[in-house]
Amino acid sequence: MKVNGEQVDDRIVEVCWDPITEHWRMMRFRDDKPQGNHRSVVENVIQSIADGVEKDMVCAVAALVGQFRCG
């Protein structure tokens, strides 16, 4: 961001975890949000990512709510 001179201070960004590089990767600025998530929300999301989820679990829950069939 320093290269193109775009203002980055006091802006919210959306990130995703890159399992290959094991680093957070910036996806986009979230100028539509007036403030970021509370620290506890961020910590819970990070813990959920670390815990992971198996395909069988997703399929079982999805089948219960009738969203889709796995196969």
- Domain assignment of residue 32, yes or no: yes
In the structure, what pLDDT confidence band is assigned to residue 1 with cuts at 50, 70 and 90?
low
- Domain assignment of residue 28, yes or no: yes
Looking up tokens 């959920």 gives 48
- Domain assignment of residue 47, yes or no: yes
Domain containing 23 equals 13-65
Would you say the pTM of this structure is higher than 0.75?
A: no
- Domain assignment of residue 19, yes or no: yes
User: Domain tally for the chain?
Assistant: 1
- Domain assignment of residue 39, yes or no: yes
Asked if 63 contacts 56 with a C-beta cutoff of 8 angstroms, the reply is no
What pLDDT shows up at residue 25? 92
- Domain assignment of residue 46, yes or no: yes
pLDDT tens digits for 13-44?
898 888 899 898 999 999 999 998 999 998 99
Report whether pLDDT(3) > 60: no
- Domain assignment of residue 71, yes or no: no
